[in-house]
């Protein structure tokens, strides 16, 4: 599980299609607050679209929604929407 503020965590979406040669790889997200955006992603192997988190990427705890996008030639497709929980970090007193 990823947590708020995690740096270097990998968000990976696996396709049932071979994405070799795909361009325009992105992972779209919707935060628990409803704010939306995307990260430019990379291809890992032939089917995995992934993004490695940086500082401030994961800034809300709760249910996030993720969806991948890839372009091959004139075709652009989107993956199914995946929901995952980003956890809260517990501070030790």
Report the predicted TM-score, pTM, of the whole model to 2 decimal places.
Answer: 0.91
**Each residue of 16-34: pLDDT tens digit?**
989 999 999 999 999 999 9
- Domains of the chain, residue spans: 10-86
Does position 8 have pLDDT exceeding 80, yes or no? yes
Q: What is the mean pLDDT of the chain?
A: 94
Q: Distance between CA 58 and CA 3 in Å, rounded?
A: 7
> pLDDT-based confidence at 93, cuts 50/70/90?
low
DSSP at 91: P
CATH architecture of 10-86: Sandwich (2.60)
Q: Read off the tokens for 70.
A: 């890839």
């Amino acid at each position: 599980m990823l947590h708020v503020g995690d740096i270097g965590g990998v968000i990976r979406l696996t396709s049932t299609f071979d994405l070799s040669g795909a361009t325009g790889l992105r992972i779209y997200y919707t935060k628990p607050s409803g704010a939306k955006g995307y990260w430019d992603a990379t291809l890992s192997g032939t089917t995995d679209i992934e993004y490695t988190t940086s500082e401030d990427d994961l800034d809300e705890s709760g249910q996030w929604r993720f969806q991948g996008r890839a372009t091959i030639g004139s075709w652009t497709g989107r993956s199914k929407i995946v929901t995952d929980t980003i956890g809260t970090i517990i501070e030790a007193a």
